[in-house]
């Protein structure tokens, strides 16, 4: 059976077409698969598991129904929804996985990542990421009232968008040396990630060994899905 991969859906009430496409995808395509991997940024933002946003609750319910049908659903934190926690995991019926995670599709070993850790040329982002992913930061954040969390998240998003617009495009992509290093660290030849919104299949050689880096697309104008079946990977697009 197929294994499905998606990333960077950035689902939000302001983009209902993307959400409707994802719900159809869960109800049709995913039900025929063995497992589904969401490699980060399922949501445009995630303040905390306390959030009872009706739009997000619809998505959580749909994920739970898909998981209940027998499809194994896995989710990796992205840079927009890294505060997804145990309550979300329980209510959605999904399993949160670490970044990176090594899996097997058939007999093929594949290293999964959201992709942001590989953008090492963006040093300011890497410093920020290290802080907000730390246990002390998340512990302190979780003690705050939800209203304050929402205010802080809105400010952080506004600042992030402002900074992002001033960064050269080349530092927002993955660093090739970082890619090669992580492939060698895990002794695999295939890396699958999202984050950069630059869907493509890259092949290159490292120490005489052919490597493959597959990049998932976003869900802004169409749904980007990678299907991994008996004959290997196929990139497809779902129209909205």
Q: What is the CATH number of the domain that holds 198?
A: 3.60.21.10
pLDDT, tens only, 186-229: 999 999 999 999 999 999 999 999 999 999 999 999 999 999 99
Q: Please compute the mean of the pLDDT values over residues 112-130 and round it to a whole number.
A: 96
**Could you give the number of structural domains in the chain?**
1
Closest CA to 223 of 71, 39, 32, 22: 22
**Where residue 171 falls among pLDDT bands split at 50, 70, 90?**
confident
**pLDDT per position as a tens digit, 133-155:** 999 999 999 999 999 998 988 88
238 falls in which pLDDT band (50, 70, 90)? very high
The three-state secondary structure class of 55 is helix
Q: Containing domain of residue 31, as a range?
A: 3-238
Widest distance between CA atoms in the chain: 55
Q: In angstroms, what CA-CA distances link 206 with 39, 61, 173, 188, 203? A: 25, 44, 20, 11, 10
| pTM confidence score | 0.95
Task: Please write the tens of the pLDDT for every residue from 57-66.
Answer: 999 999 999 9
pLDDT of residue 5: 98
**Kind and range of the H or E run holding 76:** strand 72-76
């Amino acid at each position: 059976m197929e294994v499905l991969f998606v990333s960077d859906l950035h689902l939000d009430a302001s983009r209902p077409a993307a959400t409707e496409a994802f719900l159809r995808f869960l109800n049709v395509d995913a039900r025929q698969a063995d497992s589904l991997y969401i490699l980060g940024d399922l949501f445009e933002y995630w303040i905390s598991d306390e959030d009872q946003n009706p739009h997000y609750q619809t998505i959580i319910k749909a994920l739970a129904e898909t998981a209940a049908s027998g499809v194994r659903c896995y989710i990796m934190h992205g840079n927009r929804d890294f505060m997804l926690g145990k309550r979300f995991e329980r209510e959605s019926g999904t399993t949160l996985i670490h970044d990176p995670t090594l899996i097997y599709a058939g007999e093929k070993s594949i290293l999964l990542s959201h992709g942001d850790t590989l953008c090492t040329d963006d040093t300011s982002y890497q410093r920020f990421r290290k802080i907000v992913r730390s246990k002390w930061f998340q512990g302190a954040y979780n003690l705050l009232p939800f209203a304050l969390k929402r205010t802080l998240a809105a400010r952080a998003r506004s600042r992030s968008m402002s900074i992002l617009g001033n960064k050269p495009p080349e530092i927002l992509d993955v660093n090739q040396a970082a890619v090669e290093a992580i492939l060698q660290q895990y002794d695999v030849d295939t890396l699958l990630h999202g984050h950069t919104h630059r869907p493509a299949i890259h092949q290159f050689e490292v120490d005489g060994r052919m490597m493959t880096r597959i990049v998932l697309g976003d869900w802004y104008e169409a749904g980007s899905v990678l299907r991994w079946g008996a004959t290997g990977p196929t990139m497809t697009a779902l129209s909205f």
